[in-house]
Each structure stands twice: as C-alpha cells, then as structure tokens.
Chains A and B, each alone.
Chain A
Amino acid sequence: MNDGKKLFGVAALFDTPDEILKAAKTVNNAGYKNYDVNTPYPIHGIDKAMKLKSSKLGYVTLFFGFFGASFILFFMWWTLAVNYPLVIGGKPYFPLPAFVPITFEFTVLNAVLSTFIAMIAVVFNLPFNSHPLHDSNYMRNVTSDKYGVVIESEDPQFDENKVNELLRSLGGKNIERIFYPEQKEFKVFQPRFVVFLIIIAIITSVSTYVTLNKLMYLPPFSFMEHQNKGIAQYESTFFYDKREMREPVKGTIARGFIPYAFTGVTDTNEFYSNPLLPTQKVLKLGQEKFLTYCSPCHGNYGEGKSRLRGFFPPGPTLHSARVIGFSDGKIYNIITNGQNGIMPSYAYQTTRDERWAIINYIRVLQRAQNPKPSDFSAISEINKESGNASN
C-alpha cells in the first residue's frame, strides 16, 4: 500500500471549530509534539488549546525593521550629506523630517519581506518548495470549509494504529494517510518552455514599445520632452531681448567675493591693506601665481629679466627703491588695473586672494635682494637647527 513512499502523517477532518478545539486539546494532552492544525480562518483560542508558545518570528521582524531603518538613514546621510552633498529646497544636507517617510517605508518593507521569507523558510524548510500536505484532499478541505488536524510520523510517540484510533474516537472524518511527494526530476530548459519564454518576451517588449512610444507619445504624455522652460542658446519668447540665458541682476555679488572699490581707477591715493599674513601656505600660492603671470615680463626673481626676448616690452625690476616704497595696496591696484598702458589688468586671471599672495611673495623677493644683518643670523640659526650648518 505504501508503494515505497514515505509516510508523512495521518490527517483527520472535523466539521466545527469547537470540535477542532477539543481535538487539538486532546492530541496535545496525549503527548504528541509534531502535529498541526489547519483551519480555513484563524480560530480564537487555538493557540491556547495547542499550548503554542508565542512565535519567535517577531524577533526577525524586529531585527530587520531596525536594520532597515538604520541602513536607509545611513545610506541617505552618506549619499546626500557626505559623498555628494546637495542642497535641496534650501534645507540642510541632512533634513531628518524629509527622510522620515523613506525611513518608515523602508523599515516596513524590510520587516515585511524578511518576515515573509523567514516564514517560508521555516514552514517549507527551504530549499524545498513543496509541503507534503499540498495537493492533498485534506488541504483542499481545510482551505474550504473543514477543520483538520494532522499528526506527523516524525513524532516520537507515532504509532499509526493508535493515532487512527485516537482520531476516530474524537469524531474525525476522512482519516487519511499522507505521504511525502516523490522527488521528480525537473528539467528547466525543456524546448517547449524556452520557446514559450521567448514568445512571452517578444510580446511583452513589443507591446511595451508600442504603448509607450506610439500610443502614449502624445502631447500631454510625451515624457516631458516639450516643456515650458528656457533652454540655453535658444530664442526666448518671453523676454524682450530674446535671450534665454539671463545675466545676474546688476550689482549681484558672488558668494565669498569682496568687490574692489578702485577697479579702473589708477590715480587714487587710497589703498587697501593686505589682509593675508605671509604664512608658508600663502607664500607657496604667491610663488606659483607669480611664476605663472608675473615672471614672463618681470623675471623669475622680479629682477626685470624678461623671458620674452623682445617680443614685448620687458617689465621693470621690482627691486628699485620706488617699487620697494610702494604700499601693498598700490601694488594691488597696479595688478588689478594694469599700468602705463603696457602692463594689462590681471583681475581676470587672478583672484583677490591670489593677488595679495603675489604681493606677499614680491615682498619676500625684495627682502632677499636687500637683506638686513639680522636675516643672516636667522638663517645660520635655522641651518644649525636643521643640523647641516655650512659656512
């Protein structure tokens, strides 16, 4: 009778919820451990009758819920506040209220999916995807209008005759033996299946293409291709000057930029004072910019040795008493506005800070050409400290 199949358990059907409650209680009292009750809907009190402990599944939900919340918060913080900071709507980089809905959704999604997977894993005993009760007459009944109990053969107390007797004494009907399903070999790549898949793929992609690109590609749904917005270098139908690209309002000042009051005014006696201290960083910057913009005419050391070999009038030396006597502000004015119609303005090549750094570097060059006695002792002291005192 067994046909070599392995017995999973013995199942019986009952007609009313009260009977199944009584049956569950009796089976439990008889000492069976591996049994289960199947009903078409949740029965109040069945957990007490079966003496079920509260499910551990809640901990999976809790863990993955917390995990989801912390992961997505970290993710949003890292992407939007650390790795690629974006100002959105004038809010801070990490606007918590705006992130709450996403955190909530992700928490719920994570908790639900993990609970579902954990339940499937426990009930079906993954990687199996079929339970012996599936496709049985018993399952057909308990998912419709009957209440059933099944005692599994794995139970240490299991004895088929005794179980039959017990279930019959409880008034169980349709007592049925349930076997493990045969493990059939299942081929995924049957030719018919593959052809079916290909046909489905073609139908789906063609219909998607036609719907999205032909049927729905009409003015209101044309994927935002035609928008009422200005596109750079197009003719504007809105502005009088027909320019789509707008200039900032007159007097607009860029962030962090301090305007120079004497732009274009060379004959002034009022000068700014140097805001930068000659620190190593400033002098490095000054050196770099001096060598780039000033040295072609004024020479690498400001000595007036032009590298241009007469193609352009050579710049004067910066070590003359006149230049040494210039204030920092005056030199700044010269760099900004140019001088004598020969030296052009360098306002567009250099930023404000770079100009002041160049001036600091020029001062260093001048001091190096005309050192004070104290400078020599200072140099020898530095050399002594660094341990390679030479003559």
Chain B
Amino acid sequence: MPQTESNIRLAENAGYIKKELPKSLSTWGYILLIVGIALSIVSYKLDPARASFGYLAGYIFLLCIGIGALFLVSMEYAAGAVWSVPFRRVSELFASSVPFLLILLIPLFLSMKNLFVWMNPEVVAHDKVWQTRMNYLNVPFFIIRDVVIILIWWLFYHLIIRNSRKQDLSLDQNLTTTNIKLSVAFIPVFGFTISLFSFDWLMSMVPKWYSTIFGVYIFADAAWVGFAVVTLASVLLTEKGYLSTKIKKDHYYSLGTWMFAFTVFWAYIAFAQYMLQWYGNLPDEIIYYVHRWVGGWKYVSLFLVIAHFIVPFIILIPRSSKTNPKILIFASIWIIATQYLDSYWLVMPSMVNNGFTYSFRFTDFAFPIAAVGLIIVLFTTLAKKHNLLPIGDPKLKRSWDFHL
C-alpha cells in the first residue's frame, strides 16, 4: 500500500507506526492450520460420519467468530460509535473469514446424509410431518438457500471493508456515509439470515424440534464471541505497541461492557428457550434437552451454564476489571473457549437422532484447531497489507477525546 505524505502525517497524529507483526505468530498460525487440516483428514478417514458432526461444530465456531466480527463493524457504523474506531480494523480482519465460509460449506453439503435424519427417504416416507417439511428442507432448496445466505454476507463484507480500506488512502468522508447506509441495511438482513442458517444446520438435526428463538441464540453467541476475539486481539496489540499509543483504558471499558452485555443476553435467550420447553414438556420439544441431559451431557450442560454465564458475568461485573488488560485477555480467551464448547454442545448430542452413539473422541478437536489456525493466518497475512488503524476515518480524531 503506497503511503502518501498526508497519510503518514495522519498516522503520526494518531500515534500509529506500522510495524510487522512478529513472525512467530504467523508461523504458529500455519502450524495450527496444517496440523488441524491433517488431523481433520485423519478423523475423516477413521470415521466419516462422526467427523461430519465434528466438522459442523468447528464450522459453527468459525462462523460465529467471522460473522460476529462483521456485525461489530456494522454496529459501529450504524450507531456512529466513536470509542471503537481504533479497534475497527481489527474486527475487519477477523471478519475476513466470511468468504471462506462458502468454500468450507462444501464438505458439509457432502456429509448431509450423516447429519440430517430427514435425508433418509425411509423416515420421510413413513411420517406425514416430515413430508410437509420437505417442502422447505429439500436438498436443492437447502443448498441454494445457504449458499445465497453466505453470498449475501460476503457481499456486505466486501462492500463495507473495501470502503473502509479505501478511506485509508483517499481520506474520503463520503465513504463513511456509504458504509453507514450499508451497515443499516446489513443488520436486519444479518438477523434474518443467521436465523435461517441456524434453523437449517442446527435445528433441523433434531427431528420435529423447533424453537423460534433459536436464531437469536446463535446470534447472541456470534456477537458474544465476535466481541471476545476483537477484545483479545485489540488489547494484546495495544499492550505490545502495535496499535496506537493514544488508546486509553477508557476505550477498553466499552469492549468489556459489550462482552458483559452479551453474556447476559445469551443467558436471557438460552433460559427463555429452556424454560418454555421445560414447562411445556411436549415430547417433540423436550427431546432436545433430554438428549443434552443423558449421561455425561448433564454435566456439560451444567458446566455450560457456569462457563457461559456465571463466570464471565462475575469476572466482568466490576468497573475495574473492564479496564484491566489482563482480566480482559483472560475473559476473552475464556469466552472463545466456551463458545467452542457451546457449538460442540449444540451439535454433538444430536448425533443420536441419526442412529449414531456419542462417545468422547479427541479427533473432534481437529476442526477448531484448524479454525483457529485459519483465523490467525488470515489475520497476519492481511495485517501485512493493511493498516491496523483506520487512519483515514473522520471519527478517529474524536475517538482520542473519548473518556468515561
């Protein structure tokens, strides 16, 4: 990226000096990615049916991070937020996994027979409910729908991020206006499409189970982990001096508040879904929770309540912990790990519906390793090309005046 003089002056004013990220980070990214892919292939060879479930859990994890980060970018534009401008490029880099979701969808389409009980024509033939549902869940419509959803996300990712990067050079303020319009359009589209996507891939795994709030559950997860990755990277980069020197503790505060807010939001949604289905106790609905309460899953479910709600809630409650970099780093790592546990918990107990039995296997964790590797590789590769601070953004100057 050619640097003009005005750009260099802007970067200096913002206290930002472009530095190469440490080589070891991208090396680690490649190692994780290659090891993850190798292990994934091994697990496919060992048990293709089991691997497709593990793959789906890893895919949901990656999707939540990518789309959550993109959501944060659009939120900032739509709300005209000032405090988050120094961190916006970080979330843009995390959103860069969105286009890859399309390629990664192909193995899922190939393993649909293992994942979904409605792919079995015998089951459908004997069940009137399934026959009516096949109007929506038939394979061509399913594939077209999900490809279109990811293409829409890709389109918005492409437009918003292109404008944002262009601004670094052209310093054109109208690009911000365009992005505000794009973001306002994206947010409702995102809410709708992520619901459809989660209905397709997660809800239809459990026969006849439905929960209208389920899309919101996945949305809460995505936003939560999106903020967590952005917090982790932003705090680390700032503390090591890769971002601006002008970033204060006050900027951190809002990151912590976002994580806290979505911790509570997830708990609200998850509990709303649980309580209604528990109270109704209808066989088609409660089976989802019965599968998550048999055997060892009971303890995973209980641990999820603690890890997904109680621990981050207590950690992030005091004002001081939201400005403390160490606590923020710990909380965001905790959140990212818990998010994978949640994806795993959403996918794995549903294996039973398709006639498989679950037993713990380490091969399931090949996929999240590959996902983390992919995210690090994408981040480091793109960080070489682009500024880590949106120096052309007209709101950046106001952001330095931000204080609590």
Contact = CB atoms under 8 A, between A and B. Distances in A.
A101 B274 CA distance: 12
A91 B281 CA distance: 10
Contact of A44 (B278, B279, B319, B403): B403
B274 A97 contact: yes
Given A97-B274, A100-B271, A45 B279 contact: no
Contacts of A97: 271, 274-275, 278-279
Q: Which secondary structure dominates where chain B touches chain A?
A: helix
B404 interface: yes
A382 B271 CA distance: 65
A98 B271 CA distance: 10
B275 A90 contact: no
Interface string A95-107: 0011011000000
Nearest to B274: A97
A89 B404 CA distance: 49
Interface in A18-76: 44-45, 54
Contacts of B402: 44
B313 to A, nearest CB: 13
Contact of A101 (B275, B319, B404): B275
A90 B281 CA distance: 10
20 contacts: A44-B402, A44-B403, A44-B404, A45-B403, A45-B404, A54-B319, A89-B279, A89-B281, A90-B281, A91-B279, A97-B271, A97-B274, A97-B275, A97-B278, A97-B279, A98-B275, A98-B279, A100-B271, A100-B275, A101-B275
Nearest to B319: A54
Nearest to A91: B279
Interface of A: 44-45, 54, 89-91, 97-98, 100-101
Interface string B245-281: 0000000000000000000000000010011001101
Given A97-B271, A97-B279, 4 more contacts: A44-B403, A54-B319, A91-B279, A98-B279
Interface string B377-404: 0000000000000000000000000111
Interface in B257-314: 271, 274-275, 278-279, 281
Contacts of B281: 89-90
Contacts of A90: 281
A97 B319 CA distance: 30
Contacts of B279: 89, 91, 97-98
A44 B404 CA distance: 5
Contacts of B404: 44-45
Contacts of B403: 44-45
A338 B403 CA distance: 94
A98 B278 CA distance: 9
A89 B281 CA distance: 9
A100 B272 CA distance: 10
A101 B403 CA distance: 36
A282 B323 CA distance: 72
A89 B271 CA distance: 19
A58 B236 CA distance: 31
A44 B254 CA distance: 14
A243 B404 CA distance: 73
Interface string B128-150: 00000000000000000000000
A238 B404 CA distance: 69
A45 B403 CA distance: 7
Nearest to A90: B281
A50 to B, nearest CB: 14
A91 B403 CA distance: 51
Nearest to B281: A90
A89 B279 CA distance: 8
Contacts of A45: 403-404
A44 B250 CA distance: 10
Contacts of A101: 275
Nearest to A44: B403
Nearest to A89: B279
A91 to B, nearest CB: 7
A281 B281 CA distance: 42
Contacts of A91: 279
Contacts of B271: 97, 100
Across the A-B interface, the 5 shortest Cβ-Cβ residue pairs: A44-B403, A97-B275, A45-B403, A97-B278, A44-B404
Contacts of A54: 319
A91 B274 CA distance: 15
A100 B278 CA distance: 13
B257 to A, nearest CB: 15
Nearest to A88: B279
A100 B274 CA distance: 12
A18 B233 CA distance: 34
A45 B274 CA distance: 43
Contacts of B319: 54
A101 B267 CA distance: 12
A142 to B, nearest CB: 21
Contacts of A89: 279, 281
Contacts of A44: 402-404
A298 to B, nearest CB: 54
Contacts of A100: 271, 275
A25 B164 CA distance: 40
Contacts of A98: 275, 279
A97 B273 CA distance: 11
